[in-house]
Amino acid sequence: MIPRIALDAMSGDHGPAIVISAALDILSRQKDLHLILVGDTAVIKRILGSPSAKIMQRLSIQHATQCVEMDELPSRALRGKKDSSMRVAIDLVKQNKADACVSAGNTGALMAIARHVLKTLSGIDRPAIITALPNMQDTHTHVLDLGANIDVTAEHLLQFGIMGTVLTQAVHNISNPSIGLLNIGQEEIKGNERVKQAAKLLEASAVINYYGFVEGDDIFKGTVDVVVCDGFVGNVFIKTAEGVAQMISYSINKHFNQNLFTRLSALISLPVIKNLRQEIDPRQYNGASLLGLRGIVIKSHGAADVLSFICAIKEAIIEVQQNVPSQISQQLDTLLSQKRDVE
């Protein structure tokens, strides 16, 4: 089966030019792939030009009249933009006309529409956003949930652990990924009731390689492969990370404008921090997955360049090949049958 990926061609900071370039590039190098460009047909055709017949066999266009703005309220996008490129791309997944979709659009709107259209998997109450962050082991730490749900139970944290395990195994080739539960370190306070309860559930689960509690700085130390937390804490975490990086850029800038040598020095250090900030920036998740849905939805950078958008398409292809939603379902079933055995 050739993966069919719907691309939201109209969203993102740079619009269709980036998406179409990425599509043509990957189609020319990867034969077993079908892409569907979703958006204004006239605009897409104009940018597309006249690719070879070989490529056009594996590329189709799905018309959509609207576009979700980057700063549009998710609830308004959900209610008011039923013919947006984002919505139509997700609809194609729902209708089984595409196996996955990729969008560089507004994250909140993407989550709201995906959840509404695709629904969650059986056994998953709420979807979660997972992304990979750089760490001092020169690998990545995968963190979820980054803001899709806030009032979670211990059971939800267990579900996040399962989803994180499946994704990092299937897509990132990490065998037996270690799962850490985000907590605070003081002995007096071993975490709230929910975290304590979640720790018991994670510990007892045969499908999870549970490491134990980790703290905020462990994410960047690379202590574990996957860190699980509720969406409130995850969102504060990711925004704090970006805030600190921004603050450090500010301080270095201020300090470095003192003389010629310090200015030259800034020329080197600021790009290093800028690169890191792009990896951390919550508005720019690249290849972040919306997990727990009955379908595959990948978020690309809003400001993605061609290469980044290609990465997001590749992430979608692997999730299709590995059938991530089905693997998550199976692991949940295993877990549920374990429970029944115990009872």
CB of 124 to a copy of itself, least distance (A): 17
Choose, by CB under 8 A, the member of 236, 257, 330, 333 that binds a copy of itself. 236
Q: State the alpha helices, DSSP H only, in the chain.
A: 16-29, 41-48, 53-56, 74-80, 85-94, 107-118, 154-170, 193-204, 218-221, 231-256, 260-280, 306-321, 324-342
Rounded Cα gap, residues 81 and 107, in angstroms:
15
Taking CB under 8 A as the rule, which mask of x and - marks residues 197-226 in contact with a copy of itself? Answer: ------------------xxxxxxx-----
Q: Does residue 188 interact with a copy of itself by CB under 8 A?
A: yes
CB of 153 to a copy of itself, least distance (A): 12
Using the minimum distance from each CB to a copy of itself, give the nearer residue, 58 or 196: 196
The tokens describing 82, both together, are 């039923």
- Subset of residues 283 to 342 that bind a copy of itself, contact rule: CB under 8 A: none
Using the minimum distance from each CB to a copy of itself, give the nearer residue, 22 or 78: 78
Q: Does residue 265 interact with a copy of itself by CB under 8 A?
A: yes
Q: Does residue 192 interact with a copy of itself by CB under 8 A?
A: yes
CB of 119 to a copy of itself, least distance (A): 16
CB contact at 8 A, 28 and 59: no
Using the minimum distance from each CB to a copy of itself, give the nearer residue, 16 or 292: 292
CB contact at 8 A, 153 and 231: no
Q: Does residue 276 interact with a copy of itself by CB under 8 A?
A: yes
Rounded Cα gap, residues 183 and 156, in angstroms:
16
Long-range contact pairs involving 239-248 (C-beta distance under 8 Å, separation at least 24): 239/282, 241/133, 241/280, 242/277, 242/280, 242/281, 242/282, 245/273, 245/276, 245/277, 245/280, 246/277, 248/273
Using the minimum distance from each CB to a copy of itself, give the nearer residue, 9 or 195: 195
**What number of H helices and E strands is found in the chain?**
13, 11
Using the minimum distance from each CB to a copy of itself, give the nearer residue, 15 or 222: 222
Q: Does residue 241 interact with a copy of itself by CB under 8 A?
A: yes
Rounded Cα gap, residues 299 and 113, in angstroms:
13
CB of 221 to a copy of itself, least distance (A): 7
Contact residues for a copy of itself, defined by CB under 8 A:
73-75, 107-108, 111-112, 134-136, 147-151, 182, 184-189, 191-193, 195, 215-221, 229, 231-233, 235-248, 250-252, 255-256, 261-262, 264-266, 268-269, 272-273, 276, 280
